[in-house]
Amino acid sequence: MSDSMKTVRTATATGQVRTSITDQVFETVAESTPELRDAIRGRRGKTDSTNRSGERQRAADLWFDELLAERLGNIDGVGTYASEERSEPVDVGDGLSVTVDPLDGSSNLDSNNLVGTVVGVYDGPLPASGRDLVGAAFVVYGPTITMVSATAGTVAEYEVVHGELECQKRDLTLPSEPSVFGFGGRVDQWSESFEAYAEGIRENLKLRYGGALVGDVNQVLGYGGVFAYPALESKPAGKLRHQFEAAPIAYIVECAGGRSSDGRRSILEIEPGDLHERCPLHVGNKTLIDELERSLAT
Ligand SMILES: O=P(O)(O)OC[C@H]1O[C@](O)(COP(=O)(O)O)[C@@H](O)[C@@H]1O
Ligand SMILES: [Mg+2]
Ligand SMILES: [Mg+2]
């Protein structure tokens, strides 16, 4: 862990204050969505810079990050802003730590497919375990803009209309009868045990994979099922970043009554050693994640 990470201040907010700050974070992201969506136009191409994960950044990745850093960093009670697109967290005062995947699914920009934004609010210094999450949300820039947010064990879905949150579903839970699945990574890179699990899943569920975590997980929340970006032969820790992507998504799915796993335990149990570390991600209906863990253990 770098020195600058160690010095990021620990949040000390009470429950009520934490909820109010978390709500402000979600509302601020929602208010920013009209500008964010507009900013994609003309910024889909790659720049010369790479992020800490070694990925070429798009102009839109950088623009989203700059806007969110400014807006979220200005909220009273937010102490740290950290993003997939910057190496180090930014100390912005005292309070909660906000993590952002500003533009999720950015490779989908080439084909003008789905993208989104993922936000985590942690009560503690970064890197933090998912157990420190006090809220998480994701935005989907689809035919309309939606946000799914989770706090205190409940999940809600909103349409974001001119930056305002309009509730569509309160107490969202995963449908008990799963119907869809989406698995990332090249099939020839999967482990034999994951391939065996996938075989069984393919027999019973319908494939839905769009290449943006937010969209693929949103289908699992809506229809029931399982999303995975598993460990790959060339990437044993998978592709997705624990702090910015996996933990917030796992928190939302668990709050919706589902399960998350890195293959053997809840994603929320992981104690990350580095802000940008990756982990395999599997989320969905409890029965399907239990079955996954049994398969991977063989
Ligand atoms: O192109 P692949 O290998 O299917 O990977 C898709 C995955 O990569 C991601 O695009 C990674 O996120 P970023 O776009 O934020 O880097 C996820 O949204 C998605 O689940
Ligand atoms: Mg992402
Ligand atoms: Mg991203």
CATH number at residue 15: 3.30.540.10
Cα dihedral 232, 235, 238, 240 in deg (nearest 10): -140
Distance CA 127, CA 125 (A): 6
* Predicted confidence pLDDT, tens digits, the chain (298 residues): 333 333 333 445 688 999 999 999 999 999 999 999 999 999 999 999 999 999 999 999 999 999 999 999 999 999 999 999 999 999 999 999 999 999 999 999 999 999 999 999 999 999 999 999 999 999 999 999 999 999 999 999 999 999 999 999 999 999 999 999 999 999 999 999 999 999 999 999 999 999 999 999 999 999 999 999 999 999 999 999 999 999 999 999 999 999 999 999 999 999 999 999 999 999 999 999 999 999 999 8
Q: Which DSSP symbol is given to 52?
A: T
- Give the C-alpha separation, 40 to 28, whole Å: 18
Question: In terms of domains, do 189 and 111 share one?
Answer: no
Identify the domain boundary among 120, 146, 169: 169
Ligand 1 neighbours by CB, cut-off 6 Å: 55, 84, 101, 104-107, 184-185, 211-213, 229, 239
Same-domain status, 250 and 164: no
Residue 148 lies in a domain: yes
Show which of 109, 140, 169 is a domain's final residue. 169
Residue among 297, 279, 280, 269 at smallest CA distance from 128: 269
CA 233 to CA 74: how far, in whole Å? 42
In a domain, 174, yes or no: no
Q: What is the Cα–Cα distance from 292 to 283, expressed in whole angstroms?
A: 10
Distance CA 64, CA 40 (A): 9
Domain housing 25: 3-169
Q: Are residues 151 and 206 both part of a single domain?
A: no
Residues 20 and 97 in one domain: yes
The answer on 165 and 40 residing in a single domain is yes
Q: What is the pLDDT of residue 294?
A: 98
Q: Are residues 101 and 217 in the same domain?
A: no
111 belongs to a structural domain: yes
Q: Which residues are annotated as a binding site for substrate?
A: 104-107, 209, 239
Which amino acid makes up residue 29?
V
Write out the residues surrounding ion ligand 3, Cβ under 5 A: 84, 101, 103-104
Do β-strands 96-104 and 281-284 pair in parallel, antiparallel, or remain unpaired?
unpaired
pLDDT for res 14 = 85
105 and 241 share one domain = no
